Homo-oligomer: A and B are copies of this chain.
Amino acid sequence: MEKADILIRNCTILPMDDRGVIKEGLIAIKNGKISYAGREAKAPPIQAEKTINGRGKVATSGLINCHTHLAMTLFRGIAEDKPLEKWLKETIWPLEAKLKPRDVYDGALLGCLEMIKSGTTTFADMYFHEDQVAKAVEKAGLRAVLAQGVLELDHKKLGEKLLKASVNFAKNFNGFADGRVTVQLGPHTLYTCSPPLLKKVRQKATELNVGIHIHLAESEETVNLTKQKQGLTEVEFLEEMGFLGSDVLAAHCIHLTEKEMKLLARHNVKVSYNPVVNMKLAQGTAKIKNLLDLGVAVGIGTDGPASNNNLDMFQSMKVAALLQKQYYKDPTVLPAQTVLKMATIDGAKALGLEKTVGSLEVGKKADVILIDFKKPHLTPIHDFYANIVYSASGSDVDTVIVDGKLLMENRDVKTLDEEEVMLKAQKTAINLPKRKTYFQVY
A422 touches B325 (CB 8 A): no
Given contacts A117-B376, A280-B325, contact A390 B310 (CB under 8 A): yes
Q: Does A154 contact B (CB under 8 A)?
A: no
Q: Does A332 contact B (CB under 8 A)?
A: yes
Q: Does A414 contact B (CB under 8 A)?
A: no
Q: Does A374 contact B (CB under 8 A)?
A: yes
State which residues 120-155 of A face B: CB under 8 Å.
none
The answer for the CA separation of A110 and B387 in the assembled complex, in Å, is 15
A77 touches B315 (CB 8 A): no
Contacts of A406 in B (CB 8 A): none
Contacts of A383 in B (CB 8 A): 77-78, 80
Given contacts A81-B331, A319-B319, A326-B282, contact A380 B426 (CB under 8 A): yes
Q: Does A249 contact B (CB under 8 A)?
A: no
User: Which residue in B77, B78, B335, B393 is a CB contact (below 8 Å) of A312?
Assistant: B393
The answer for the CA separation of A329 and B310 in the assembled complex, in Å, is 22
Q: Whose C-beta in chain B lies nearest to the C-beta of A84?
A: B331
Contacts of A204 in B (CB 8 A): none
Q: Does A10 contact B (CB under 8 A)?
A: no
Report A421 CB to chain B, min CB distance, Å.
Answer: 7
Contacts of A118 in B (CB 8 A): 377
A394 touches B393 (CB 8 A): yes
A376 touches B312 (CB 8 A): no
Q: Does A391 contact B (CB under 8 A)?
A: yes
Contacts of A82 in B (CB 8 A): 331-332
B331 touches A393 (CB 8 A): no
Contacts of A391 in B (CB 8 A): 76-77, 305, 309-310
Can you show 21 pairs from A to B with CB atoms below 8 A apart? A77-B386, A77-B391, A78-B382, A80-B385, A80-B386, A81-B332, A82-B331, A279-B325, A280-B322, A280-B331, A305-B377, A305-B391, A310-B377, A310-B391, A319-B322, A374-B419, A374-B422, A377-B394, A379-B429, A380-B430, A395-B396
Which 6 residue pairs spanning A and B have beta carbons closest together? A380-B429, A77-B386, A279-B322, A81-B335, A77-B383, A114-B376
Residue ranges of A at the interface with B (Cβ–Cβ < 8 Å) = 73-78, 80-84, 87, 110, 113-114, 117-118, 276, 278-282, 284-285, 305, 308-312, 315, 318-319, 321-323, 325-326, 328-336, 374-377, 379-383, 385-387, 390-391, 393-396, 418-419, 421-422, 425-426, 428-430
